[in-house]
Amino acid sequence: MTEKRPQQVFTLVIEVGRKAGDGLPHKAKGAALMCYASGVDEAEAVRETVAILKQANLAPLDVSGYGTLEEREKNGDEIDPEERALMDRALAENSVIVAQMTPFYD
């Protein structure tokens, strides 16, 4: 029997383009979404996040991974309590949390 790998939370930034009904601000050309996504590895977290964003009528174009909480701390990132709470929630709910949306304009 294979050992079940534990879920981890990954920090992802997903760039999205425009799509009818995407809910982005009127004049925005797209947006960057900062997400916390659970998965056994980063590839799974990316697949799940992209699938959920597509279901939400968004058009994912590019994904940048920033690693797990532990990896980010090793890299010297400061993670505030609010961000940690969102990561904990993503892990507890085995979900994707969109923490921030930054629209792009010309």
Any domain includes 76: yes
CB 61 within 8 A of CB 30: yes
Does 89 have pLDDT greater than 80?
Answer: yes
pLDDT band at 99 (very low <50, low <70, confident <90, very high): very high
Q: What is the pTM of this model?
A: 0.91
**What's the pLDDT score for residue 106?**
85
Any domain includes 3: no
**What's the pLDDT score for residue 2?**
62
**What's the pLDDT score for residue 4?**
77
Any domain includes 2: no
Number of domains in the chain: 1
- Convert the pLDDT of each residue in 70-79 to its tens digit: 999 999 999 9
Any domain includes 99: yes
**What's the pLDDT score for residue 104?**
96
- Convert the pLDDT of each residue in 7-62 to its tens digit: 999 999 999 999 999 999 999 999 999 999 999 999 999 999 999 999 999 999 99
Any domain includes 1: no
DSSP 24-79: --TT-SEEEEEEEEEESSHHHHHHHHHHHHHHTT-EEEEEEEEEEHHHHHHTT---
**What's the pLDDT score for residue 36?**
97
Full domain range(s) for residue 64 = 8-104
